[in-house]
Chain A
Amino acid sequence: MSESHDTNGTPRYYVPHSSVWPIVGSIALFITAFGAATFIQQSTDKVLTATGTYGGIIFYIGLAAIAFMMIGWFGAVIKESLQGMVSGLLDQSYRQAMMWFILSEVMFFAAFFGALFYARLISVPWLAGAGHKLETHLFLWPDFAETWPLFMTPGGTATEAMAAWGLPFINTVILVTSSVTVTFAHWALKKNQRGALQAWLALTVALGIIFLILQGVEYVHAYNDLGLNLSAGIYGSTFFMLTGFHGAHVTLGATMLAVMLIRILRGHFTPENHFAFEAASWYWHFVDVVWLFLFTFVYWF
């Protein structure tokens, strides 16, 4: 590994060795993407070449390869950090990169929120004859009436709405609380109170897991009792895509925090140097804020 100090002792730039992990990651992503497309085709109605189940196997191999790459790549970075090779400048680069990455995630959710608002403000009213779209209404679906949640689609699929003040509200409280506990953990880390740090962080991870379990309960309720599923028109589409991608991000965030907990138990991080912990907690705040928008616009209003 390389040195981080020049001859007069000022650490400035760090240019790493050539690395095997990026190419491993590229191949892993390719296997995953190719496997996912094949898997989806083989498990739904549009079969491409041969029926079979090998698409799923390729997909899971790809996911395992991605996990292998992440463990290897992050492991290398952690080793460098523990050896003190992360200078202030590199630390700053990591921080900025994480912030821009979170911005890109925000924009991913923005696409789905855009779809939600388009459906609520434009397409559903238009289908019911609002604005200059009266003919569409009269000739295609004259019986269609505008409601939100969309209990009956123009095509005639019925569903019930998910109530906001049951499980979703409890989940809101859980997630907001977890955002507070992760901040307490951060304060404890800055004061070097390792015991408090471990306790608050473990509590955060536990709250995240409880949130995910309750989301699972809610999905079962939606499918079994409400007739609310992906095929239940635009309300079901936006409901499941937004909450589903949010749930995936919570899973990712909780995994990140769990890894941080393991690292903390092994004695990593100092009050001054703990970028990875901060990155994971920023990510956690991000999924929390996304949830607040979800609760407001998907469940509540």
Chain B
Amino acid sequence: MIAHADTIPPARHPLIAWILRWILTTNHKEIGTLYLCFSFLMFIAGGAMAMVFRLELAQPGLQYLGADFYNQMVTLHGLIMVFGAVMPAFVGLANWMIPLMIGAPDMALPRLNNFSFWILPFAFFMLLSSLFMQGGAPNFGWTLYAPLSTTYGPPSTDYLIFGVHLMGISSILGAINIIVTIFNLRAPGMTLMKMPLFVWTWLITAFLLIMVMPVLAGAVTMMLTDRHFGTSFFSAAGGGDPVMFQHVFWFFGHPEVYIMILPGFGIASQIIPTFARKKLFGYNSMVYATASIAFLSFIVWGHHMFTTGMPLVAELFFMYMTMLIAVPTGVKVFNWVATMWRGAMTFETPMLFAVGFVVMFTIGGFSGLMLAIVPADFQYHDTFFVVAHLHYVLYPGAIFAMMGAIYYWLPKWCGNMYNERLGKIHFWTAVFGLNLTFFPMHFAGLGGMPRRIVDYALPFADLNLVSSIGAGILGLTQFLFLYIVVDAVRGGSGKATGQVWDSAEGLEWTLPSPAPLHTFHKPPQVD
């Protein structure tokens, strides 16, 4: 029998009791909600910074920002979106859904779960406070390259370093919790190869987090000692090498890229079968493909630094390994398409986002293959082509997956259906806005427009104006999304059934909607 407690003695003022409940909670659903709300807040903050620099880039020349503040905005935009928006949002979904999908009463270590969430607001308070410090916020890009971050970094860099340490602790503890929950708390009969793919992809993601977040901690620690204690890790005069920072950073950074996309693969694999009304095509191959991608992610980091000085042999190795990733990724894309093949498809909002994910993530994948070719990369490196590529895999990749997930599971969480019409409008405006923003960047980049520079040559003016208009539209769609979610929580378009979607399969749909605070007191039997 589950043992749980009413959280707070009822004598307190209701507002204080309400606040304390959220601060002290050990419930996976409440912590999941906290993660999702926090990540949306960070998404808006990071998005606001993108609005600032897109406004600047709308015209050539310097209009509103100085070069230094532009660099600060770009740096914080990257850091906040990666560590504050995408990663916590996926952890929030994991918190909500993994116990429901495997028939567990909660996460394996509920107090640790609370700990890993509540570290985050403090970490980001520290990161954002750097904006108001003397010398301004960090201005060397989210990749923190030495010597920009060591010899030339502003004083606030030290707060960034310790902020990254806090985020790392949060991620590692969260990942340990997820991995232990999955290994230990599955309902009887749910063997590993019967787990829903969202659970599988998160299991592998959690493994990647445990493997690489400590490496990032090591990298920023070396930054700190190079800055203050006279070490020479990234200084050639002492026998070190600035390029070594890039090696250590990208050993973390490339698996990090898959940390941000693998749960999205899992979500697409949940949504598409439901609305195609067929079983997922090639379940086993999906699992093996995910594991292969995770393995390969450890031996491709060099493709981020083809132009920074590596022996030819290493460049060839990293090129071939990178191209090899296209094979398991291709397996996944073909499996999603084969699942849809001859299915009785309907296009509710979650399905629209999932199909949009498959199509546009594939565009980002193809531009990734172009970047993997060493001689071609010498041309593309550090241009807007890279910006286009990474935003195609992150926006219609990671963000579309999580928005699809929210539309898909929101009725289960709050018990109400969202407004389907507005959901479809959200999808199509987002598709329009993001392609308007990011597609022209391909051409600007191929034409030679460098990234991370506040001004650009006149021939790129039209493309950048189009990108900026698209960015404005994309920014506005976030408020439509917020309205749809709030509206659904407050009643939406009527009550949802327990099943919600007529052909959805999985343990979470056996529960009533909204899912009660404590579920699966007794583990369900899975055949």
Q: A residues near B, CB below 8 A?
A: 2-7, 12-23, 25-27, 29-30, 33-34, 36-37, 40-41, 44-49, 73, 85, 89-90, 92-94, 96-97, 100-101, 103-105, 107-108, 110-112, 114-115, 118-119, 122-124, 126-127, 131-133, 136, 140, 150, 153-155, 157, 229-231, 233-238, 240-241
Contacts and interface: CB of A to CB of B under 8 A. Distances in A.
Given A34-B162, A154-B236, A15 B133 contact: no
B109 A4 contact: no
Given A23-B114, A29-B119, A234-B239, A111 B26 contact: no
Contact of A33 (B1, B112, B166, B212): B166
B282 interface: no
A97 B210 contact: no
Contacts of B179: 96, 100
A119 B180 contact: no
A22 B238 contact: no
B108 A93 contact: yes
A241 B184 CA distance: 37
A37 B26 contact: no
For the residues of A in contact with B, the DSSP-based class is helix
A242 B185 CA distance: 37
Interface in B187-232: 210-215, 217-219, 221-222, 224-225, 227-232
B233 interface: yes
B230 to A, nearest CB: 3
Interface string B90-126: 0000000000000011101111101100110011011
Across the A-B interface, give the 3 residue pairs with the lowest CB-CB distance, nearest first: A6-B1, A111-B218, A2-B3
Nearest to A20: B24
B162 A33 contact: yes
Interface of B: 1-5, 7-8, 21, 23-27, 104-106, 108-112, 114-115, 118-119, 122-123, 125-126, 133-135, 155-156, 158-159, 161-163, 165-166, 169, 172, 175-177, 179-181, 183-185, 210-215, 217-219, 221-222, 224-225, 227-233, 236-241, 243-244, 247-248, 251, 309, 311, 518, 521-523
A73 to B, nearest CB: 7
Contacts of B123: 30, 33
Contacts of B110: 15-16
Nearest to A244: B225
A100 B31 CA distance: 22
B222 A115 contact: yes
Nearest to A133: B309
A18 B239 contact: no
B45 to A, nearest CB: 18
Given A37-B159, A234-B240, A241-B222, A26 B115 contact: yes
Instruction: Indicate the member of A6, A73, A233, A235 with the most B CB atoms within 10 Å.
Output: A233
Nearest to A146: B239
Give the one of A85, A94, A237 with max B CB within 10 A.
Answer: A237
Nearest to B165: A33
A160 to B, nearest CB: 15
**Which of B23, B156, B179, B214 has the largest count of A CB atoms less than 10 A from its CB?**
B214
Nearest to A73: B111
Contacts of A154: 236-239
Contact of B184 (A33, A37, A93, A240): A93
A101 B110 CA distance: 16
A103 B210 contact: yes
A122 B236 CA distance: 12
Contacts of B231: 230-231, 236-237, 240-241
A280 B243 CA distance: 38
Contact of A104 (B135, B172, B238, B240): B172
21 contacts: A7-B1, A13-B2, A13-B3, A13-B185, A15-B518, A16-B3, A21-B111, A22-B114, A37-B161, A44-B229, A48-B133, A93-B108, A101-B172, A111-B215, A115-B233, A124-B239, A127-B239, A229-B230, A231-B232, A233-B240, A234-B233
Contacts of B247: 114, 118
A165 B309 CA distance: 38
Contact of A12 (B24, B25, B523): B523
A150 B235 CA distance: 14
Nearest to A124: B239
Given A97-B176, A118-B244, A15 B105 contact: yes
A131 B210 contact: no
Contacts of A157: 238
Given A13-B3, A22-B118, A25-B115, 20 more contacts: A6-B2, A15-B106, A16-B3, A16-B26, A23-B114, A26-B115, A34-B126, A37-B158, A40-B224, A44-B229, A46-B227, A85-B3, A94-B109, A96-B184, A100-B176, A107-B210, A119-B239, A230-B230, A241-B221, A241-B231
A234 B112 contact: no
A101 B122 contact: no
Contacts of B227: 46
Given A34-B159, A108-B215, A92 B184 contact: yes
B180 A93 contact: yes
Contacts of B180: 93, 96-97, 100
